[in-house]
Amino acid sequence: MQDSGESVPEHLTRQELLAFHAHYESVMRERTNFCYQYLNFYTGLLSAILAATLTGLLSIKFGDRRGIALLLGPLLVLVFARIGYVSVKAFYRSYTRAWVTRANIEAMLGIRFAEAITTGKYHPVYVSEDGGFVPRIESRPVAGVLKKAKDGQWSAEKVMQELVKVGDTLVYARNTFVSFGLASVILTAFIVWTAFS
């Protein structure tokens, strides 16, 4: 196998695999932290915009056309909800890529996700469902994707793309941003009703 004129080693040592495992474990932690930091930031920002808009709505009288200016709040909520979701999704995709890579490395090391895990003379008190010693606690949608991927012999890239669609963190983030979007639509209706009543 050639890569830019240099030969790629055919075999990786256990130490090299362990080093890769440690690296991808740290990448996963870093990307998960970014996901939650961005989610928290945008949730706070959107909450503040909605609160300010509601405060403004409560301070105007029916028929006051100046209330139309409050439509800026729901518009900003929709824009920032979209930006927030796309930001969280970018970090979640990176997290998922690292997770799939780590799963492959764990299978190669015989830690988890391997066909047959041998523990040698050491026996875990609680054996995981796949016969190993590391419990797998994936949600049903994630477990379903992993089973389909294994049965269908999907590529790592396809596994990653499918996991991004059903991953818990991204689903919760999407639901959060959609909720803000719905709140802004409802608030828009109240602003228009108040301004033109």
pTM (2 d.p.)? 0.77
Distance, CA of 56 to CA of 141 (rounded, Å): 42
Distance, CA of 185 to CA of 191 (rounded, Å): 10
Average pLDDT over residues 90-116: 86
* Residue boundaries of the structural domains of the chain: 13-116+123-195
Residue identified by tokens 């075999």 is 11
Helices 140-152 and 156-166 sit at what angle, rounded to 10 degrees? 160
- Residue 121: the pLDDT is 74
Taking 3-state DSSP, the helix, strand and coil percentages for the chain, each rounded to the nearest 5, stand at: 75, 0, 25
For residue 70, give the nearest of 182, 189, 180, 177 by alpha carbon.
189
Secondary structure class of 131 (helix, strand, coil): coil
Report the alpha-carbon angle 183-43-40, nearest 5.
Answer: 160
Write out pLDDT tens, residues 158-182.
999 999 999 888 999 999 999 999 9
